[in-house]
Amino acid sequence: MEDRKILKSGEFLVSETDPKDVFIPEEFNEEQQMIAQSCRDFLGAEVYPNMTELEKGNRELMKSILKKSGELGLLGISVPEEYGGFGQSFVTQMLVAETTGAGSSFSVAYMAHCGIGTMPIVYYGSKDQRERYVTKLTTGELLGAYCLTEPGAGSDANSGKTNAKLSEDGKHYILNGQKMWITNAGFADTQVVFAKIDNDRVLSAFIVESSLPGVVIGPDEHKMGIKGSSTAQIYYNDVKVPVENLLGKRGEGFRIALSILHLGRIKLGANVLGAAKKAVNDSVKYANERKQFGVLISSFGAIKHKLAEQVIRLFASESAVYRVSRDIDDLMVKMKVDCGDTGRGAIEAISHYAVEAAILKVVGSEMLDFISDEAVQIHGGMGYSAEMDVERGYRDARINKIFEGTNEINRLLVVDTALKRAMKGDFDLFGKAEALYADLGKISPEMIDGADYFTEKSKFVDNLKKVIMICLYGAVKKYPGSLTNDQEVMNNIAEMMMEVYLSESLCLRIFKMESLGKGGPVYRDILDVNIYDTADKIRKSASDAVWSFAPAAEASPVIRAIEALSRVRGVNVKGARRRIAEKLIAENLYKF
């Protein structure tokens, strides 16, 4: 591992990052590109031709396609070589998650198996458990599911009622309870099930074989989207689970569940990129074919605006996804040595970036939601027809704002986790924030005349970070120890943190692209529009927060400082968006 600074989770708020220290998609090597192409080829050969039948809820067909992907090795990308996998880097894992994200319902089933269905055993399983289950999950001989949610326990996972009691002979745990919204339930061979042993306060985790007596699988749910994935309830009636199938230690289930949620959130951030790229491609191809008033609709300014905005939001999200992926890869190297266990070291590194995981989950799901909606709109009446891929894409996109913890929960986590990390001493947030708050009156509008392009953009981003610190300090001062009860203000701050992380990631990527000779004016157009729009969003969110927690006399100087710090150079957004759209239109494909 080369000598580079690895920021701690949330530290981006107070630290600068050198562009040379970030990974960007333009740096994928030949092997990574080949793996991604294998995924695309598989979707083209096995998934897209069967999409209509999959949408009918054909469990056996989905099962057979998953098994075929296992035969090709696609289920073992994240699995260590000693258990039959390829042990690829986290960056490569994210690239696979992105590429398969274009596979609609298959992507959901695939990601559930490869991620939450397999990786808990990889990370927390004993050597025996890994050899018995992971080796077969890797090949597709077994297919996996993850069983956490219950009818009365959604976001509050630890309130679940599923119970396990040790049998009199001490050889089994007797499992009773019910799980719901379980992906792959209809055909999974193994389940990672969470339950409380006796009267424990926290969960434990178990590996449960679906064939065990007392395991009852319900019918598939009828859903708005992702209709091809099997989603069902599972009932446990006096199921005898061998004691050697306890996953991790007793009472460690809640930690396992949270850690796997961090993994799911980060990989969802990558997965939606593939779906978004497909939606953008569908949009521009239709715009380049459809004529109205005697001309192609791609020539209309309103359509160009939509196409450009799709590109800008997608490109920014992609920049953030691979930025944090490189950090996780490098931290994994250290954590595997510190933990003395490859699996636990890997998940500790992933879990460390809880702030970024929540950010990627929210911004990625909402980016895809926006792009899918605009894709339907660009198609007009045809977009509402089930004949078109964008109709399915629109329905499928909606679940991502609920998956892996709702976006509402994740917004709160962005702020709460960053504050806890700062209080723990991971980075100096409060010292810098207090100094800013003390000197509010000295903050004035600032524009850097004569500075080079990236120096100015970096300064804008730095000023927007200062706005966040001012709001955080003021809110914590107003609600010491109870800010989490003021969710509206938490949401305002979360919005600012997410937007700034995207803008900074975008800025770092484009700077590095130019240093590698891979940039160009259109990428500066993307950054110009993003920074211009982000400053406006930050100003609004910050003002809403301040007026919510501060009386008028106290709020006024804070608002003046916010307005000064959120001032950026004006941009001809119409011209910039048109140039972005025209590149997309000319190539008739997303090639950014």
| The domain boundary residue, chosen from 353, 380, 409 | 409
Q: Is residue 170 part of a domain?
A: no
- Do 397 and 284 reside in the same domain of the chain? yes
For residue 540, give the CATH number of its domain.
1.20.140.10
- Do 534 and 397 reside in the same domain of the chain? no
- Do 274 and 370 reside in the same domain of the chain? yes
pLDDT of residue 449: 63
Contact 138, 131 (CB under 8 A): no
Q: Exposed, middle or buried: residue 432 (CB in 10 Å: 0-12, 13-18, 19+)? A: middle
Cα–Cα distance, 419 to 426 (Å, whole number)? 10
Cα–Cα distance, 43 to 365 (Å, whole number)? 22
What one-character DSSP code corresponds to residue 209? E
Q: Is residue 549 part of a domain?
A: yes
pLDDT of residue 437: 84
- Do 462 and 343 reside in the same domain of the chain? no
Q: Is residue 234 part of a domain?
A: no
Of 350, 265, 271, 263, the C-alpha closest to 97 is 271
Name the packing angle between helices 342-352 and 253-287 (round to 10°).
60
pLDDT of the chain, 592 residues: tens digit per residue = 456 778 899 999 999 999 999 999 999 999 999 999 999 999 999 999 999 999 999 999 999 999 999 999 999 999 999 999 999 999 999 999 999 999 999 999 999 999 999 999 999 999 999 999 999 999 999 999 999 999 988 778 788 899 999 999 999 999 999 999 999 999 999 999 999 999 899 999 999 999 999 999 999 999 999 999 999 999 999 999 999 999 999 999 999 999 999 999 999 999 999 999 999 999 999 999 999 999 999 999 999 999 999 999 999 999 999 999 999 999 998 888 888 888 888 999 999 999 999 999 999 999 999 999 999 999 999 999 999 999 999 999 999 999 999 999 999 999 999 999 999 999 999 998 888 888 887 887 665 666 789 999 999 999 999 999 999 999 998 888 788 889 999 999 999 999 999 999 999 999 999 999 999 999 999 999 999 999 999 999 999 999 999 888 889 999 999 999 999 999 999 999 999 999 999 999 999 9
Confidence (pTM)? 0.95
Those residues whose C-beta lies under 8 Å from the C-beta of residue 114, and which sit 6 or more positions away, are 75, 77, 78
Contact 400, 364 (CB under 8 A): yes
Q: What are phi and psi of 72, to 5 degrees?
A: -85, -5
- Do 502 and 433 reside in the same domain of the chain? yes
| The domain boundary residue, chosen from 353, 381, 409 | 409
pLDDT of residue 279: 98
- Do 395 and 502 reside in the same domain of the chain? no
pLDDT of residue 445: 64
Q: Is residue 130 part of a domain?
A: no
- Do 380 and 458 reside in the same domain of the chain? no
Question: Maximum CA pair distance of the chain?
Answer: 81
Dig out the tokens for 574 from the structure. 């119409």
Dig out the tokens for 531 from the structure. 């920074």
Is 53 a known active-site residue? no
Contact 329, 89 (CB under 8 A): yes
Q: Is residue 56 part of a domain?
A: no
- Do 374 and 474 reside in the same domain of the chain? no
- Do 258 and 400 reside in the same domain of the chain? yes
**With left for phi above 0 and alpha for psi between -120 and 50, is residue 293 left, alpha or beta?**
left
pLDDT of residue 94: 97
Name the packing angle between helices 487-515 and 521-549 (round to 10°).
160
If one counts the domains in the chain, the total is 2
Contact 354, 346 (CB under 8 A): no
Residues 496, 499, 501, 503, CA torsion sign? negative
Q: Is residue 6 part of a domain?
A: no
Residues 52, 56, 61, 66, CA torsion sign? positive
pLDDT digits (tens, 9 = 90+) for 466-523: 999 999 999 998 888 788 889 999 999 999 999 999 999 999 999 999 999 999 999 9
Contact 501, 356 (CB under 8 A): yes
Where does 550-572 have alpha helices with state H?
552-565
- Do 558 and 465 reside in the same domain of the chain? yes
- Do 435 and 368 reside in the same domain of the chain? no
Cα–Cα distance, 571 to 531 (Å, whole number)? 9
| The domain boundary residue, chosen from 409, 440, 458 | 409
Contact 4, 330 (CB under 8 A): yes
Instruction: Give the DSSP H/E element, type plus range, for residue 439.
Output: none
Distance from the Cα of residue 209 to its chain's centroid = 29
Cα–Cα distance, 249 to 67 (Å, whole number)? 31
pLDDT of residue 1: 44
Distance from the Cα of residue 33 to its chain's centroid = 21
Instruction: Give the DSSP H/E element, type plus range, for residue 205.
Output: strand 204-209
Q: What is the torsion angle, in degrees rounded to the nearest 10, for the CA atoms of residue 504, residue 323, residue 257 and residue 240? A: 160
Q: Is residue 72 part of a domain?
A: no
Name the packing angle between helices 354-379 and 407-423 (round to 10°).
150
Cα–Cα distance, 12 to 360 (Å, whole number)? 14
Q: Are strands 231-242 and 215-217 parallel, antiparallel or unpaired?
A: antiparallel
Contact 308, 316 (CB under 8 A): no
Those residues whose C-beta lies under 8 Å from the C-beta of residue 37, and which sit 6 or more positions away, are none
Cα–Cα distance, 360 to 581 (Å, whole number)? 25
Candidate list 98, 150, 348, 404, residue with the active-site label:
404
Cα–Cα distance, 258 to 324 (Å, whole number)? 19
Q: Are strands 163-166 and 190-197 parallel, antiparallel or unpaired?
A: parallel
**153 residue type, one letter:** A
Of 5, 14, 6, 18, the C-alpha closest to 509 is 18
Which string of DSSP letters, residue by residue, matches 225-263?
S-TTS-EEEEEEEEEEEEGGGEESSTT-HHHHHHHHHHH
Cα–Cα distance, 141 to 118 (Å, whole number)? 12
- What's the Cα-to-Cα distance from 159 to each of 156, 248, 345, rounded to whole Å? 6, 20, 28
The three-class DSSP label of residue 216 is strand
Range of the domain at 377: 253-409
- Do 360 and 450 reside in the same domain of the chain? no
Q: Is residue 438 part of a domain?
A: yes
Cα–Cα distance, 425 to 73 (Å, whole number)? 43
Dig out the tokens for 374 from the structure. 């605009």
